[in-house]
Amino acid sequence: MTSIDAKEAASALSDIASIAHRVRQSTTYHIASLMLILWGVLVFAGNVVNYLWPRHGAYVWIAVNVLGFAGSCAIGAFESRRTKLLSFDPRSVAAFVLFFAFGVLWSVGLGHFGPRQLGVFWPTYFMMIYTIVGLWVGAAFVAIGLGITALTLIGYFLVDGAAFLLWMAVVNGGGLILGGLWMRRS
């Protein structure tokens, strides 16, 4: 039987910890990529439909959020069963509901935002969370959050009228889709 010294054991444990970290990050990125693509498609479609039928914008976004929430729960539950890991946690659902309720309180209840301001508030509000989570989970989240926020603000100040919705379809919806595809490769 061969024995190893303390330095070799420490090195081996360090290698194991590094591999475990990369596997956890890969699993997180996989699930996040699926959700980013789902939300990206829904947000892209929501902005285009809102552009085509502006009077129905409130109903469009209610539908987008209900479908996105249900799809996110389904992805989480499916991935939990597939990987035998707890990737779907009821606390995540509670956190999303609280986060969303806080956004509604400020955007509708206290802020009284108009349609254009709502079109900037919600993407930047969600991207703030991506950026903060990225500080712990991985740089891809930070890059996606800051990139979409910056492009959203550029559109807010430089894109006039209803074309802003098309800008947001590409920037927010397209950005989420591209971010999801990028995460699949990370």
| pLDDT one-digit tens code per residue, 125-177 | 999 998 998 898 888 889 999 999 999 999 999 999 999 999 999 999 999 99
Report d(CA 37, CA 95) in Å as an integer: 21
pLDDT given for residue 31 in this prediction:
85
Give pLDDT tens digits for 40-86.
999 999 999 999 999 998 899 999 999 998 998 888 888 777 766 66
Distance CA 90, CA 183 (A): 24
pLDDT tens for each residue of 97-128 = 898 899 989 988 888 888 899 999 999 999 99
pLDDT band at 23 (very low <50, low <70, confident <90, very high): low
Identify the pLDDT of residue 64: 96
Cβ neighbours around 8 below 10 Å, total: 10
pTM exceeds 0.85 for this model = no
Query: Is-contact 57 50, C-beta < 8 A?
Result: yes
Give the model's pLDDT for residue 183: 80
State both tokens at 148.
Answer: 């979409």
Task: Dump pLDDT digits (tens) for 11-22.
Answer: 766 667 666 656
Phi and psi angles of residue 24, each rounded to the nearest 5 degrees, phi first: -60, -45
What is the per-residue pLDDT for 96? 82
- pLDDT score at 17: 66
Residue 89 has pLDDT above 60, yes or no: yes
